Amino acid sequence: MIVARSLGNKEGVKIRQSIGKSIPRKETWEKVTGTTKYINDTSGEPGLLHAKIAISQHAHAKIKSIDSSDAMKIQGVKAIITGQNAPILTGSPLADRPPIAIDKVRYYGEPIALIVAEQEYIAEMAALQIKVEYELLPVVLSPSDALQKNAPLIHEHLAEYKRHEDVYPEPGTNIANRTKIRKGNMEEGWKNSDHTIEVEVTSPQSDHAAIEMRCCSAQVLPDGRVIIHSASQSPFVIRRAISQSFQIPLHKVIVHTPMVGGSFGGKSAIQMEFLAFLASRAVGGRAVNLVNSREVDMISSPVHIGLHAKIKLGCSLEGKMMAAEILHLYDGGAYSDRGAVMSRSGAVDCTGPYRIDNVHCDSLCMYTNKPYSTSFRGFGHPELTLAIERAMDLLATRVGMDPLEFRFFNAIGPGDTTPTQTLLDRSNLGDLPMCIAKLKTLIHWDELSLRETKGHLIKATGVCCFWKNSNTPTDAGAGAAILFNPDGSVNLLCGAVEIGQGTRTALTQLLAERLRMEERMINITMEVNTETDPYQWKTVASRSTFLVGNALLNAADDAIVQLKNIAAIVLQCSPEELDVGNGKVFIIDRPAVGIEIEKIAYGYKYPNGNTIGGQIIGRGSYAMRNLTLLDPETGEGNPGPEWTVGAQAVEVELNTREYTYKIIKAVTVIDAGKVINPQFARSQITGAMSMGLSFASREAFIFNDKGAILNPQFRTYKLIRYGEQPEYFVDFVETPHVEAPFGLRGIGEHGLIGMPAALANSLSIAAGVELNHLPLTPEMIWRTIYDSV
Amino acid sequence: MIPFDFEYYKPSSVHMAVELFQLLQNQGKKPVYYAGGTEIITWARTNSIQPGAVINLNSIPECSVMGIQKDKLVIGACVTLSALSEANPFPLLSQTAQGVADQTARNKITLGGNICGKIYYREAVLPLLLANSRMIIAGIHGIREVSIHQVFLQQLRLENGEFLVQTFTDQYYLSLPFVHYKKRQIGNVGYPLVTVAALKQDNQIHTAYSGVCSFPFRSIEIDQVLNSSSIPLAARIEQAISKLPGSIIHNTEGSAPYRKFVLKQTMADTIHILERR
């Protein structure tokens, strides 16, 4: 019986390459034809009820009473839920937040009641009829004020809050978390410092400004299953949080996340989901939809964290950095949420990517009477980088060194240790000096004058470096499954959420590379379903391609073994003699002999009908390795698998008559480990630069002295607009991270990290004053100049 | 989402519109006239206004005209700012209109709506103040034509139930030398810190301002000072600022001291350019 077939290709199987190609997104056609379905596109379904949030008009007040009788009288109102009906505390790592305020409100915009009605506008009408009697309390509006000994306490029962991960709140204060870094000997460090500088730098809270407002629906089925649809980065965390908070067996909570319309960290927090569940439970389990208006999305849902930083740096006469003393006061707002972890992350990378042997850092997450913070692209790093890179520029000037040369000279490298005393090598660190060198060439640094005056216009270029570790939990992980179809194509199942970053397409490229298969033969849907898709921690921290990528490579290897085993029987050889590629399993020494995958994907059927094997299903999983918690006294520990490093520059033209400015160029050189899809990588980094420049130049919530937000609309909250963008330049260095798929490093957030610093540095050079406070509006520059005279 | 019920009407004549207004008002429905709707929708969404009825003026033919009639430029109150800039019958007005909001919003915002809005910048009125335009206003007692200076004092002083139908501008003003500056907090879209529109007529510079005080204005005294060419420019500007008709505003766009700084610069630029033309 001849079963082996000639594949009709004397040259053998051509090995395909998928990595490094700019293939289009899998969801391109849906998006460009407007047929993509986002969560709220199904809000018109018959029978669906609608919920709205009534929000607090005070930033800090005791709730004396809530009268919802007028609201309840409105025809079509089904239920009204207040904090008393939902006496639970949520939040991770520190459970400090009731989904609806209980006893007191801690920020302007905090949910005080939830209304369920037949129509969205009825729920909104009723929300306006909720009458609350308050007793006003003094407000705390900055993290520095919150630290004062006599500051009003925002959380009186801090000691009693449940802790899910390592977090160190200090009861009796407004400190939600403190991370300490104690490395080396400070006395020694200062003794060896011939030059020292001190600087205070601030960045404000701001909005994530995703196009799609946060939206969620919930339904409790008669058999007790809870079905949640949510625009989220964390479907598996929603499942766990709903299960834990409401004592529902985990497997009975099913979360669906379709394509998400932008997120930037803002949809990683679990907020709306608690409310949607409470709403559905209050109406007998009927399906309830909850979507934020833009204004509520901006101020009631969690926001981008702020930072007040104090930096003291010292270096030797030659410019070698000797000591750093750093205080970070993160403006976490009314509840800690991921702000606690961001403050830790702000300690881990507090020095920036520089070799400093003596480091003392306290990084605190402070409670204030402002909207609470959650992750924002860069996770605490854009803020800390602004602070340390302003300090670096000051110190370079003090020493009299070129700012890039000073950074190159002090760049951290293999053999050095981080603030958490992790030993670095090429794999876990990448190559910062190479990034700086490439940046220098790209911007013609050596021919560039630092400051070029033409009439009342001054051109200047500011530079900075960045690094970022992911600060994931030590057990963050993911799974992947590969299901073969009888036409030889495969379905890839995984839990990474598509938020516009292109992850799900990039993952098909990793799989195509490993299976040596055409990408069009790999199917992936844009929806994640926690009941049928393998687990993934969350789609955050630029970690999806790493975690899911490793899982799917394991799954691919598992499938390859299965393919070879069955093909070996058919081809009458041993599996070791076989290889897989181009839709076939073939004999390595005789590539022309083999069998098409489609003939064995569901088992192989002999001509007489006998069948061996069955569907090929590859399975794989991966979890972080060798990570440790940080020592609470010294910060020693291993916070994540690797750093991504890079160097950035911004060129501005300042009008010295009006202090307006144009951003002319923005440049990033990043060590990407391995570029999977060049077009995606460039657009991620360019988009991140745009977001960073927008945030740095104009974005900020403006509060009055009572803590009310004065600009909760895009009429007055400024964002960078199309047409204002500078010329963008992106280039890559590729130093593989050995533990990552094909050596890749996270790049989703990193283009943003140094933009505030590079912009502040360029404008400081141009204006001739130290600009240490965001946003860098012309008025801010004017005021700094005016105040310094 | 607008959280209240309201009635909606779209009359096809001036007469029907004013009658409807009176009828609805008598029914206690607190009607409002509607042109582009951008402000009404914004304030209704945030529950800052609760009109019981909305009267859309867009089907009234007189409100949509734009063209020269007997040496006068006639612009209907419902002509959108983008249509106005596109047709460009009055370059200073086109430029001023072009500075309002963004393109998408200007496709909705109308000349009449911008002038009559609650948002206090009302920038489109500045060129009309400078061109001594005449306003055609409809009310229950019929149509009246009146000088802009008689009815626009900080805002358009309409009698109850009246609405702006058209503006008439003498053709003479359309081609005078002009400048328009809009200074914002940052970027190319947003409310003004300072908007200055200026025309040069018979060797005299006429200026009008928005964003400086909590209303747009033209001031004879300020223009007199600015035109006193015997005094050094910086001194003229100091004097002009002492004659502002109200206090300088402080809001999320900018502080009063910074606005003053920007105003001085902008006045200097205005004079500088127009003195040479």
Q: Which of B79, B66, B67 is nearest to B115 (CA)?
A: B79
The answer to whether residue A76 neighbours chain B at the CB level (below 8 Å) is no
Q: Least CB-CB distance to A293: which of B1, B4, B261?
A: B1
Q: How far apart are the first and last CA of chain B?
A: 51
**Cis amide prior to A93 (ω within 30 degrees):** yes
Q: Which residues of A touch B48 (CB under 8 A)?
A: none
CA dist., res. A725 & res. A694, Å (int): 9
Helix (H, G, I), strand (E, B) or coil at B267: helix
Q: Do A718 and B187 touch (CB under 8 A)?
A: yes
Q: Which residues of B touch A783 (CB under 8 A)?
A: 258
Q: Do B183 and A658 touch (CB under 8 A)?
A: yes
Q: Which residues of B touch A125 (CB under 8 A)?
A: 3-4
Is A5-36+476-623 assigned to CATH 3.40.50.880? Answer: no
Is B177-275 assigned to CATH 3.30.390.50? Answer: yes
| Residue predicted with more confidence, B113 or A1 | B113
Instruction: Note the CATH number of domain B7-56.
Output: 3.30.43
Q: Which amino acid is residue A462, in one-letter code? A: G
Could you tell me the pLDDT band of residue B228, with boundaries at 50, 70 and 90? very high
Q: Nearest CA of chain B to the CA of A717: how many Å? A: 9
Q: Which residues of B touch A658 (CB under 8 A)?
A: 183, 262, 265
Interface test with A, best of B39, B43, B186 (most A CBs within 10 A): B186
Could you count the other beta carbons within 10 Å of the beta carbon of residue A172? Answer: 11
Which residue is associated with the tokens 């030797």? A316
Q: What is the pLDDT of residue A470?
A: 85
* Chain A residue with Cα closest to B256: A779
Q: What is the pLDDT of residue A734?
A: 98
Could you tell me the pLDDT band of residue B188, with boundaries at 50, 70 and 90? very high
Could you tell me the pLDDT band of residue A683, with boundaries at 50, 70 and 90? very high
Q: What is the pLDDT of residue A8?
A: 45
Q: What is the pLDDT of residue A450?
A: 78
CA dist., res. A153 & res. A161, Å (int): 15
Interface test with A, best of B5, B109, B258 (most A CBs within 10 A): B258
Structural element, H or E, at residue A14 = none
* Chain B residue with Cα closest to A777: B186
Across chain B, the runs of DSSP E, i.e. the strands, are 7-9, 31-34, 53-56, 66-69, 72-76, 134-139, 142-147, 152-153, 155-156, 163-170, 178-184, 192-201, 204-210, 217-218
pLDDT score of A1 more than 50: no
Mean pLDDT value of segment A177-184: 98
Encode pLDDT of B4-53 as tens digits: 999 999 999 999 999 999 999 999 999 999 999 999 999 999 899 999 99
CA dist., res. A634 & res. A417, Å (int): 14
A566 near A604, Cβ under 8 Å?
Answer: yes
Q: What percent of chain A has pLDDT over 90?
A: 95
Helix (H, G, I), strand (E, B) or coil at A252: helix
Domain with CATH 3.30.43 in chain B: 7-56
Q: Do B47 and A128 touch (CB under 8 A)?
A: yes
Q: Which residues of B touch A120 (CB under 8 A)?
A: 1
Q: Do A121 and B2 touch (CB under 8 A)?
A: yes
HEC states along A363-414? EEEEECCCCCEECCCCCCHHHHHHHHHHHHHHHHHHHCCCHHHHHHHHECCC
Q: Nearest CA of chain B to the CA of A102: how many Å? A: 25
Q: What percent of chain A has pLDDT over 70?
A: 98
Say what the ipTM of the complex is: 0.96
CB-based burial, A3-34: b 16+ in 10 Å, e otherwise? ebeebeeeebbeebebbeeebebbbeeeeeee
Encode pLDDT of A361-415 as tens digits: 999 999 999 999 999 999 999 999 999 999 999 999 999 999 999 999 999 999 9
Q: Nearest CA of chain A to the CA of B185: how many Å? A: 7
Residues near A313 by Cβ (< 8 Å), separated by ≥ 6?
A196, A197, A321, A323, A324, A391, A392, A394, A395
Q: What percent of chain B has pLDDT over 90?
A: 98
Is A39-137+213-260+267-299 assigned to CATH 3.90.1170.50? Answer: yes
Residues near A153 by Cβ (< 8 Å), separated by ≥ 6?
A172, A173, A174
Q: Least CB-CB distance to A779: which of B1, B47, B258?
A: B258
Encode pLDDT of A716-764 as tens digits: 999 999 999 999 999 999 999 999 999 999 999 999 999 999 999 999 9
Mean pLDDT value of segment B58-83: 97
The answer to whether residue A739 neighbours chain B at the CB level (below 8 Å) is no
Is B61-173 assigned to CATH 3.30.465.10? Answer: yes
CA dist., res. A732 & res. A723, Å (int): 26
The answer to whether residue A75 neighbours chain B at the CB level (below 8 Å) is no
Q: What pTM, to 2 d.p., does this model score?
A: 0.97
Encode pLDDT of A242-285 as tens digits: 999 999 999 999 999 999 999 999 999 999 999 999 999 999 99
Q: Least CB-CB distance to B3: which of A125, A698, A711?
A: A125
Q: What is the pLDDT of residue A15?
A: 61
Q: Least CB-CB distance to A718: which of B45, B190, B265?
A: B190
Q: Do A713 and B42 touch (CB under 8 A)?
A: yes
- Dihedral in degrees, nearest 10, Cα atoms B255, B44, A46, A277: 40
* Chain A residue with Cα closest to B263: A658
pLDDT score of A4 more than 50: no
B190 near A718, Cβ under 8 Å?
Answer: yes
Q: Do B186 and A702 touch (CB under 8 A)?
A: no
CA dist., res. A495 & res. A533, Å (int): 6
pLDDT score of A6 more than 70: no
| Cα→Cα distances A617→A297, A513, A557, A600, A694, Å | 42, 18, 11, 12, 46
Encode pLDDT of A640-658 as tens digits: 999 999 999 999 999 999 9
Encode pLDDT of A579-628 as tens digits: 999 999 999 999 999 999 999 999 999 999 999 999 999 999 999 999 99
Domain with CATH 3.30.365.10 in chain A: 5-36+476-623, 303-473+627-788
Q: Which CATH class is domain A303-473+627-788?
A: alpha beta
Q: Which residues of B touch A121 (CB under 8 A)?
A: 1-3
A226 near A254, Cβ under 8 Å?
Answer: yes
* Chain A residue with Cα closest to B259: A779
* Chain B residue with Cα closest to A784: B258
Q: What is the pLDDT of residue A165?
A: 85
The answer to whether residue A44 neighbours chain B at the CB level (below 8 Å) is no
* Chain A residue with Cα closest to B2: A121
pLDDT score of A11 more than 60: no
Interface test with B, best of A291, A702, A718, A721 (most B CBs within 10 A): A718
Q: Do A777 and B185 touch (CB under 8 A)?
A: yes
Q: Which of A502, A596, A515, A597 is nearest to A552 (CA)?
A: A515
Q: Least CB-CB distance to A779: which of B47, B190, B254?
A: B254
The answer to whether residue A714 neighbours chain B at the CB level (below 8 Å) is no
* Chain B residue with Cα closest to A724: B187
pLDDT score of A313 more than 70: yes
Could you tell me the pLDDT band of residue A787, with boundaries at 50, 70 and 90? confident
Encode pLDDT of A91-116 as tens digits: 999 999 999 999 999 999 999 999 99
What is the pLDDT of chain B when averaged over all its residues? 97
Mean pLDDT value of segment A513-539: 96
Mean pLDDT value of segment A413-427: 98
Domain with CATH 3.90.1170.50 in chain A: 39-137+213-260+267-299
B192 near B182, Cβ under 8 Å?
Answer: yes
654-713 in chain A: CB under 8 A from chain B: 657-658, 660, 697-698, 702, 710-711, 713
Q: What is the pLDDT of residue A3?
A: 45
- Interface of chain B against chain A, CB under 8 Å? 1-4, 42, 45-47, 102, 183, 185-191, 251-255, 258, 261-262, 265
Residues in a beta bridge with A433: none
The answer to whether residue A652 neighbours chain B at the CB level (below 8 Å) is no
Q: Which residues of B touch A128 (CB under 8 A)?
A: 3, 47
